[in-house]
Structure 1
Amino acid sequence: MASIGQIIFWGIIILIFIVGGFIILLLSIAFTRYQSIVQSKDTFPVGNITQDIILDCTFDPSSVNGKLATDATVTWTKDGLGGVVYFYQDRTAQLQNQNSQFRNRAELFPNAIATGNASLLLRRITMEDSGTYRCGVSAPSGHGTVSIQLRVAAYSAPSFTETDSTLTAEANTWFPKPNVTWSDHSGNILNDNTSLFTNYMGISRVLSRLKQPVLLNESYTCLIQNNLVKSVSNATITGTGVLGTTSFTFNMSPVLLPEWLSLLISLHPLLCWRF
């Protein structure tokens, strides 16, 4: 039979677990409610230099006490910069304090505010646009802020040519510097001769040739990747040229991987690109 001391001891242990579980439940509910006010579907986007990008930000568009979502105030800022990226209040843009870096390049979607869409369109992005952005919303349904870390890269699909049974891939813009790997339809790694021509901005043009002769009606895969972007291109040799298709995937991790580790991951069939 258990002693009184043992009963008290185990009673205290059980009580600690109950109280701890209750505290965790309250914190979980509070955190969930906070998260539901303002959120983003993509907090680590990768933009392509000179292209436009949308930084996703949404909020609860519920009406409260007669006030509508269109009465929301939306503030976009960027860490380390003075002024605002974009400021929306009283159903119109208020850009008197806008940082000059974003003048005529940043805008919201005013007609979508009513649906809880506070996303930012950033036009013609540059390397200087990379960094942490904050979307703050004050709406009838509540207040909240979400952080979005924009990474800027340069990437393009390669074009393929075949001359005298030599297959060549050329991609005009890549940043950071990429690695290139070729394989056949069975996944066997093939030898190649790859050159990178880098300009003063650090953007590279990729020129890569297979060392071995290619065969008619065979398919070859050209993998171009850095620690932000992975391009997978399938090239099929036809009687009239090369048929090529390309797909892109992006590293969604906030921690950037070393280039040698990214290459190792891409070559290992048991590992995944996303962390």
Structure 2
Amino acid sequence: MSSNTKPVANLGEDQILSCYIPADITQNSLGEMFVSWEKTDLGLVFRYQNGAPALDDQAVVFKGRVQVFPDAVVAGNASLLLRSVRNSDKGEYTCSIRSSVGQGKVHIQLRTAVFSAPTLKFSNNILTSEASRWSPKPEVTWLNQTGNFQNASTSFTELPSGAYSVLSTLRSAQVSETYSCRIETSLVVALTEATITGTGVLRRTIFTFSVASTLPVSFYLNLVIGFLCMFYVV
């Protein structure tokens, strides 16, 4: 099984591909565990057997970039850590698990994007939201606390990597009001709630990721809640 069969990885960052044996099975002794991860177009990504990695035929592009966690494997969790995700890593992966109590496999469709949480600053009734990297070029919208759209100006700067930095400015913002800045592409939405205080901005960012329309949307994929941060006006 997997808790997320269509993850969206942030290029250049690490990503966990989820694969595990259901809890009702792991209550029994699993015995010797065999784990294999393969990518449809490249072959072996990672293999774990006899209590150790077995990587003689591992695809070159994954050498030194992937691992499972032995302590987790013996408990039925064969999730794979993929380091420094590249655009070429996207595609279909298959996780296969075999033990004394049974066997199974799950298919994971890895998608890639570039996204970042924005920083916010407030000065002279101007609230700015700046995000360092997004790709493809996102759309940006602002709402006030009653859900009404706000007029704002947004500019994009293309980076050498092909991603974009984003600078969006909301004028006539008011102290003690809460505004929402939404940055989105077809795969990723970053929703930042910003409350203007007397000394700065209190904000929270939530990322959500798209799921295939043929799947029931019963949970947010890779829900990431940004911790509360205070930004002070210099």
TM-score range, shorter chain: 0.7 to 0.9
Counterpart residue type for residue 174 of structure 1:
W
Structure 2 counterpart of 1:52, from 14, 29, 45: 14
The TM-score normalised by the length of structure 1 is 0.73
Structure 2 counterpart of 1:227, from 186, 190, 205: 186
User: Where does 1:1-275 land on structure 2 (aligned, <5 Å)?
Assistant: 39-59=1-21, 60-61=25-26, 69-82=30-43, 84-210=44-170, 212-253=171-212
Secondary structure of 1:136's partner? strand
Quote the offset at 1:253 in angstroms.
Answer: 2.1
Contact 1:70 1:113 in 2 (8 A): no
Quote the offset at 1:158 in angstroms.
Answer: 0.7
Higher helix share: 1
Quote the offset at 1:138 in angstroms.
Answer: 2.1
Counterpart residue type for residue 208 of structure 2:
T
Residues 111-136 of structure 1 show CA distances to partners (whole Å, capped at 9, x for unaligned) of: 12221111111112121111110001
Q: Which has the higher contact order (CA 8 A, sep 6+)?
A: 2
Counterpart residue type for residue 58 of structure 1:
Y
Structure 1's unaligned 5+ residue stretches are 1-38, 256-271
Residues 88-142 of structure 1 show CA distances to partners (whole Å, capped at 9, x for unaligned) of: 1111101111111111110011112221111111112121111110001222122
Counterpart residue type for residue 220 of structure 1:
Y
Q: How much identity, in percent, do the aligned residues show?
A: 41
Quote the offset at 1:273 in angstroms.
Answer: 11
CA RMSD of aligned residues (A): 2.1
Contact 1:62 1:140 in 2 (8 A): no
Counterpart residue type for residue 69 of structure 1:
L
Contact 2:9 2:110 in 1 (8 A): yes
- Whole-Å Cα distance in 2 between the matches of residues 156 and 144 of structure 1? 36
Structure 2's unaligned 5+ residue stretches are 221-234
Quote the offset at 1:226 in angstroms.
Answer: 0.8
Quote the offset at 1:206 in angstroms.
Answer: 0.7
Contact 2:191 2:206 in 1 (8 A): yes
Higher strand share: 2
Contact 1:251 1:273 in 2 (8 A): no
Contact 1:171 1:207 in 2 (8 A): yes
Contact 1:78 1:132 in 2 (8 A): yes
Contact 2:114 2:133 in 1 (8 A): yes
Contact 1:77 1:85 in 2 (8 A): yes
